[in-house]
Structure 1
Amino acid sequence: MNTELLMMIGGLSLLDTLSPAILGVTVYLLLTEKEKLGSRLIVYLMTVIGFYFSVGVALKIGFGIFFEVFSSFLQNRVVSWFLFIAGMVLFVWSFYVPKSKKSRMTNPKSKSKSAMVALGVTTSLVEVGTAFPYFTAIALMTNAGVVWYQWFPILVAYNVVMVLPALILYLLYVALGRAMQKPLTYMQKQFSKSSSSVASWLMCIVGVLLMLYSVDYL
């Protein structure tokens, strides 16, 4: 695997750290949960990581089988044209994402560990449909012919990076205590607003990356 591809995947993982759902739920728990905060937050984040990792493995294996079966029909140039067109569509589409003032994030009524697992699955289901950086990283690895013992740890690292901002917020909350109240309240207000603008510029960036990656092979 070349350094350029690793850098692109690393950049995509950083884009995925801006998930409004994961950060929003984390902020809500920090503001409202007083008992067993750490364990419940970890259960929630581990559920999210497990869900996204499972989806990533399924897609990677599925893409691999697809390329293996149709390898005689799909040459690199064809795949590159597909990625370039997909990137162009995402880039153009990003300017037409409808603005919605209603947040898709729901606050948990119960904060038991089982409720955290359910919340992790729910928020993952809500967000996975717009996980453009994640899908792009998987497609790039597939197109580059990355073998399983390379892409497996990359997927693990990608998902850990994705939840790092939530863990950093928790550590800051533990270290600073009440000093974090105002910043967290401000963040909660921001997350309660529309997340469509975040999806819009994520689509734009991913579209540009796809076009830049594939243009050399057209």
Structure 2
Amino acid sequence: MSTTLAGALLGLSLLDSTSFGTLLIPIWLLLTPGRLHPTRIAVYLATVAAFYFATGILLTLGADAALQAARDAFSGVSPVLLRWCQLVAGVLVIVLSYWLEARARGQGDSPGRVQRWRARAMAGSGGPSGLMSLALVAAGLEVATMLPYLGAVGLIANAGMSWQLTGAALAGYCVVMTVPALVLATARLTAHAKVDPLLRRINDWLTRNSAKALGWTVGGVGIGLTLNAIVALATDP
């Protein structure tokens, strides 16, 4: 593996470490009142990392076949028409993001019930299955928006590495993207009084904006698609 590739993967993994599933949910879990069981946050992060790793393996295995199938399917279609289709798709995704946000606000949830579930899950009175389910749901929702990871998988798939090195690169990526959450968990365990105010400020922000989170995520993808299509249509001959 070249130094350039390793640096690119490191940067992408650190970017992925700030996503909703890898950082914001762990912060919310770390704000559980009382004694924190480190194994609980470890179960959550390990499940997220395992999901990403398995997804990366599947994508790497099918990357060449998928790319060739896409080339064959669209070989006879005008690039300009494809860009217009991308533009329409981007606008539709942006509209979808507003609908998702409105739906989340309309459904809502009982804050007390959510807080009680968190306390049980993190205090050890319940099994790890709840945390594992939360991790899988969070990672599953991010599949369509894990753009840094998709970029990393593309770099790895095109690097011509052996399967052993490919697996090691994917595993290393998944470990690195959990590091910020692990650092915060360690700080929560060793310096709770100093770290708690920062975590609470972040938690207050999440509470106020929880209904917007999914809409922002989906809307970001739509904006990216739309802007990319507009730039391509304006610059391509």
TM-score (normalised: structure 1): 0.71
What does residue 45 of structure 2 align with?
Answer: 45
- Structure 2 letter corresponding to 1:133: P
1:28, 1:107 within 8 Å by CA — same for their partners in 2? no
Superposition pairs of residues 112-131 of structure 1, within 5 angstroms: 112-131=127-146
1:66–1:200 CA distance, 2 compared to 1 (3 A): closer
Structure 1 position 35, deviation (Å): 4.4
2:21, 2:135 within 8 Å by CA — same for their partners in 1? no
Structure 1 position 52, deviation (Å): 0.9
What does residue 168 of structure 1 align with?
Answer: 183
Rounded to whole Å, the distance in 2 between the matches of 1:149 and 1:25 is: 32
1:108–1:66 CA distance, 2 compared to 1 (3 A): farther
**Counterpart check, 1:153 vs 2:206:** no
Structure 1 position 36, deviation (Å): 5.3
2:63, 2:157 within 8 Å by CA — same for their partners in 1? yes
- Structure 2 letter corresponding to 1:169: L
> Cα RMSD between the aligned structures?
3.9
1:168–1:174 CA distance, 2 compared to 1 (3 A): same
Structure 1 position 34, deviation (Å): 3.1
1:125–1:66 CA distance, 2 compared to 1 (3 A): closer
2:30, 2:36 within 8 Å by CA — same for their partners in 1? no
Rounded to whole Å, the distance in 1 between the matches of 2:2 and 2:46 is: 30
1:43, 1:116 within 8 Å by CA — same for their partners in 2? yes
Rounded to whole Å, the distance in 2 between the matches of 1:65 and 1:24 is: 35
SS of the residue corresponding to residue 151 of structure 1 reads: helix
Structure 1 position 123, deviation (Å): 1.1
1:21, 1:123 within 8 Å by CA — same for their partners in 2? yes
TM-score (normalised: structure 2): 0.66
Superposition pairs of residues 19-168 of structure 1, within 5 angstroms: 19-35=19-35, 37-66=37-66, 70=68, 98=97, 100=101, 109=117, 110-111=120-121, 112-168=127-183
Structure 1 position 20, deviation (Å): 1.8
* Higher gyration radius (CA): 2
Structure 1 position 191, deviation (Å): 3.1
Structure 1 position 145, deviation (Å): 2.3
